[in-house]
Every structure is written in structure tokens, then in C-alpha cells.
């Protein structure tokens, strides 16, 4: 292991970074980030849906069990991400501000996945998923904050692009592990092993800037809790950026939540689990073709908003296809267009978010609040999707709703003033 950061690096922990990061740092950070998406999306894409169908009590719909489990887990992540981000901001450990929370987070996440593998009732399933969300949110808050800690502004689009690559490969790997291992138990354990081991190169090979104890502000519960309030009046660009991310992610969550059931019940696909894997692969291939290019392009021309706007418009069109063209070719086309749009959005929106952060001392906490825009849609989507599918028009109505929500998010990015 490389030695911890010294005094110069300690000063760097609260400074705006100016030195470009190397390819090795970006690669290992991306691998660690991808591991978290394996831990999240192996369950979300396949395993939780299958387990909900197995464990739903007589007379209770599998959709309702899945909605309760995913909604509760997302609610935990909603609180955990900014909380652990704030705690990591204040951590003055000799190994750095972020590293202890990365290690603890992936260890706890693997434990939660192991608990899910042994769940025999839906309450145990709910408990296991909440533990996964709690622990992986801690690791995610720390890994995300490492970017504004170490990466200069004009390189963040490119780094965000590689993190986007890691995200889709993590989703694809999680879906593949969940599908190929031959069962719910084996799928959870395979995801747990990957989630635990893949972050090790980043943790072991790269230093983490240390916050000197004398630079940590005195602690009080009142000040700590007050810090989670970010005023839209004082920081309007941050508020509009948050709303953009929230609405686009809500639209995406509405698309993904019942994808397995959509293939099974609406398209009558003969192998819906394999169908989800194929759609994920198509989506991932197109995302990979755009995410890094978009990030580099955004850095080069110094603009963020046009990329986010047109990515959202393209994702809206793809979602509308799922509503109006309910066939397997329609699903494949929508998956491809969603991949292109989400690839551009993932890299450039991440860079945009880091550009509107208010202060260096609160990067972890502020990014945690921003990342509520990722987890809150997972809380709202089940509550919104279940009644729409069951009582208000089925899957066409669900995907029209998702398209309208996503388009609103894309348009709101135009209200941001401090970023081009």
C-alpha cells in the first residue's frame, strides 16, 4: 500500500484540484464504482423480482412485495448517502477521508447480499436489501466525493464518462451474474463477491487526501443537521441541477422497475430473464459508444447544458416507443436509444453537478444530497408505477408517464445560469 497523504496532500483535501489524474487512478476508481452497481443492479434487474414472486404471501401480488422492498431500500439510501457523505467530509483518519467508508461500505454491502441469498420470507428479504442500500450508499458517497477531491474541473467530463462506463458495465455484470449463476442464492453470492473484491485495487494502490484534525470544524448536532439544508434561493443553480437529475432518473426508474414483468406479461417473451439481459446488453453497448466521447467533448468545448438537454429529449422519445410500440423489436429499439441518451447524460450531468458544488469542505455531503436525486426516484417509482400498471392503463400509461417526467427534467436544465 502506498503511504497516506502527507502535509501537502492534506492541504489538497480542501483545495480545488489542479493536477490532472492519471489513467490508473481513473481505471481503479471506475472499477470500484462498477462494483457498487453490480451490488445494486444484479438484485434490481433480476433477483429481487424473482425472489418477490417466490416469497409473496398468498393473496399478495408480487408487484406489491417488490414495491415494498425496493421502496424501503431506496428510502434508506435516501438518508444514508448524504449522511455518510457528511461524515466522510469530517473524517480525519490517517488513511484519508474517503477510504474507511469505501472499505466499510463494500464489506457491509456484501454481508447484506449474503443475507438476501438466505432469505426465506419477504421481511428478511426487505431487511437484507435495506442493509445493502445502507452500506453501498456509504461507499458510493465516498467514491463520488473522490472526484471533486482529486480531479480538476476541465477533466471531470472525461472522468465522469469513465464512471459512466463502469456504471453500465456494473449493471450488465450484475445482470449477467444474476442470470448465469443458476439460481437466486448463487446470484446473490456472486454479486457479493464481486462487490467486495473489485474495489481493492483503488483502496490499496492510491492515496486518499487526509484532512488534518485541526482543520475539522468543531462538532455540534445543530450545525451538523443544519448543514443538510441547501437553500434553493442561495444556490439556485444547484437546485435546478438537482431537479433535472431527479426527474430524468425518475423517468428511467419507471422504465426499469417492471421491465421483467413487462417482457413476461405484456410482450409474452418466452424467456423474460434472458430478454432483460439482452436489452441491458444493447443498452450498454450504445451507452459505451457515447459516454466517454460525450464527456471528452463536453470538456473540450466547455459546455454541459446542451448535452444534458438533448440526452433527455432522446430518452423521452425512447420511453414513448415502449408505450406505443409494444413488440420485441420496439423494446430493442428503445433500449438502443436509451443507451445513447443515458450515455451522454451520465458523463456530462456528473460533471455539471461537480461544477455547481457550493464549497470544497462539504463536497461529500453536498454530493450526497445531490445523489438523493438518484435514490429518491427509487422510492417514488414503485409507489407511482404499481397503481398506474394495475388500475390506470397498464404499461402504455406507465411509459407515457415516464416520458413526460423525463422531458420535464431535460427542459429544466436550461434554467442553470453559472454553467454553459
Alpha-helix residue ranges (DSSP H) falling in 356-371: 363-370
pLDDT of residue 362 exceeding 50: yes
pLDDT of residue 266 exceeding 90: no
First to last CA, the chain: 41
pLDDT of residue 284: 80
Within a 10 A sphere around the Cβ of 49, how many other Cβ atoms?
27
In a domain, 1, yes or no: no
Contact 316, 251 (CB under 8 A): yes
Q: Provide the percentage of residues in the chain whose pLDDT is more than 90.
A: 43
In a domain, 313, yes or no: yes
pLDDT of residue 56 exceeding 70: yes
In a domain, 420, yes or no: no
Q: pLDDT category, 244, cuts 50, 70, 90?
A: very high
Q: pLDDT category, 2, cuts 50, 70, 90?
A: very low
pLDDT of residue 357: 80
Q: Which of 306-320, 385-399, 402-416 shows the lowest mean pLDDT across its residues? A: 385-399
Q: How far apart are CA 62 and CA 125, in angstroms?
A: 13
pLDDT of residue 408 exceeding 90: yes
pLDDT of residue 197: 97
pLDDT of residue 237 exceeding 90: no
pLDDT of residue 1: 40
- Highest mean predicted confidence (pLDDT) among 103-112, 297-306, 363-372, 410-419: 103-112
In a domain, 173, yes or no: yes
Closest C-alpha among 75, 48, 67, 59 to residue 188: 48
Q: What is the CATH number of the domain that holds 83?
A: 1.20.1250.20
pLDDT of residue 322 exceeding 80: yes
pLDDT of residue 205 exceeding 90: yes
pLDDT of residue 341: 93
Rounded mean pLDDT, 217-222: 72
pLDDT averaged over the chain? 87
Contact 306, 349 (CB under 8 A): no
Please spell the DSSP secondary structure of 222-268, one letter per residue. HHHHHTT---TTT-HHHHHHHHHHHHHHHHHHHHHHTHHHIIIIIS-
Rounded mean pLDDT, 233-251: 89
Q: How far apart are CA 282 and CA 197, in angstroms?
A: 27
pLDDT of residue 343: 87
pLDDT of residue 12: 56
Contact 103, 73 (CB under 8 A): no
Grid cell digits, residue 367: 454530493
Angstrom distances, CA of residue 235 to CA of 103, 173, 225, 232, 242:
33, 38, 18, 5, 11
Rounded mean pLDDT, 293-298: 90
Rounded mean pLDDT, 35-43: 94
Rounded mean pLDDT, 64-69: 90
pLDDT of residue 10: 41
Rounded mean pLDDT, 191-203: 97
Q: pLDDT category, 360, cuts 50, 70, 90?
A: low
Q: Number of structural domains, the chain?
A: 1
* DSSP reduced 3-state for 122: helix
pLDDT of residue 14: 66
Q: Which domain holds residue 92?
A: 7-213+222-415
Rounded mean pLDDT, 233-240: 84
Q: Provide the percentage of residues in the chain whose pLDDT is more than 70.
A: 95
- Signed CA dihedral, 323, 324, 325, 331: sign only: negative
Per-residue pLDDT of 121-150, as tens digits, reads: 999 999 999 999 999 999 999 999 999 888
pLDDT of residue 9 exceeding 50: no
Amino acid at each position: 500500500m502506498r503511504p497516506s497523504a502527507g502535509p501537502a496532500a492534506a492541504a489538497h483535501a480542501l483545495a480545488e484540484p489542479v493536477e490532472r489524474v492519471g489513467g490508473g487512478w481513473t481505471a481503479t476508481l471506475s472499477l470500484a464504482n462498477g462494483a457498487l452497481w453490480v451490488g445494486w443492479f444484479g438484485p434490481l434487474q433480476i433477483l429481487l423480482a424473482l425472489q418477490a414472486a417466490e416469497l409473496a404471501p398468498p393473496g399478495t401480488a408480487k408487484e406489491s412485495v417488490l414495491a415494498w422492498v425496493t421502496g424501503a431500500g431506496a428510502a434508506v439510501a435516501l438518508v444514508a448517502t448524504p449522511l455518510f457523505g457528511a461524515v466522510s467530509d469530517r473524517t480525519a483518519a490517517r488513511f484519508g477521508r474517503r477510504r474507511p467508508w469505501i472499505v466499510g461500505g463494500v464489506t457491509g454491502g456484501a454481508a447484506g447480499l449474503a443475507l438476501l441469498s438466505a432469505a426465506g420470507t419477504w421481511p428478511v428479504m426487505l431487511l437484507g436489501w435495506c442493509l445493502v442500500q445502507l452500506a453501498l450508499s456509504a461507499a458510493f458517497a465516498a467514491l463520488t466525493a473522490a472526484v471533486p477531491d482529486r480531479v480538476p474541473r476541465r477533466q471531470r467530463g472525461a472522468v465522469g464518462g469513465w464512471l459512466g462506463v463502469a456504471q453500465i458495465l456494473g449493471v450488465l455484470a450484475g445482470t449477467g451474474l444474476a442470470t448465469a449463476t443458476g439460481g437466486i442464492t448463487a446470484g446473490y453470492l456472486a454479486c457479493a463477491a464481486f462487490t467486495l473484491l473489485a474495489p481493492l485495487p483503488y483502496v490499496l494502490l492510491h492515496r486518499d487526501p487526509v484532512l488534518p484534525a485541526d482543520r475539522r470544524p468543531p462538532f455540534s448536532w445543530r450545525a451538523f443537521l443544519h448543514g443538510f439544508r441547501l437553500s434553493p434561493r442561495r444556490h439556485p443553480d444547484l437546485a435546478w441541477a438537482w431537479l433535472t437529475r431527479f426527474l430524468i432518473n425518475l423517468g428511467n426508474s419507471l422504465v426499469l422497475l417492471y421491465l421483467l414483468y413487462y417482457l413476461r406479461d405484456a410482450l409474452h417473451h418466452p424467456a423474460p430473464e434472458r430478454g432483460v439481459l439482452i436489452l441491458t446488453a444493447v443498452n450498454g453497448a450504445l451507452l459505451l459508444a457515447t459516454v466517454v466521447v460525450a464527456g471528452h467533448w463536453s470538456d473540450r468545448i466547455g459546455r454541459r447544458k446542451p448535452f444534458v438537454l438533448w440526452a433527455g429529449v432522446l430518452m423521452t422519445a425512447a420511453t414513448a416507443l415502449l408505450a406505443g410500440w409494444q413488440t420485441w423489436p420496439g423494446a430493442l429499439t428503445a433500449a438502443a436509444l436509451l443507451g445513447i441518451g443515458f450515455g451522454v447524460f451520465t458523463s456530462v450531468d456528473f460533471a455539471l453537478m461537480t461544477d455547481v458544488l457550493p464549497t470544497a469542505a462539504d463536497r461529500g455531503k453536498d454530493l450526497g444530497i445531490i445523489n438523493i436525486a438518484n435514490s429518491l426516484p427509487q422510492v417514488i417509482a414503485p409507489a407511482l408505477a404499481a397503481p398506474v400498471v394495475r388500475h390506470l392503463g397498464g404499461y402504455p400509461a406507465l411509459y407515457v408517464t415516464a416520458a413526460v417526467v423525463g422531458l420535464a427534467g431535460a427542459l429544466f436544465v436550461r434554467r442553470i445560469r453559472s454553467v454553459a
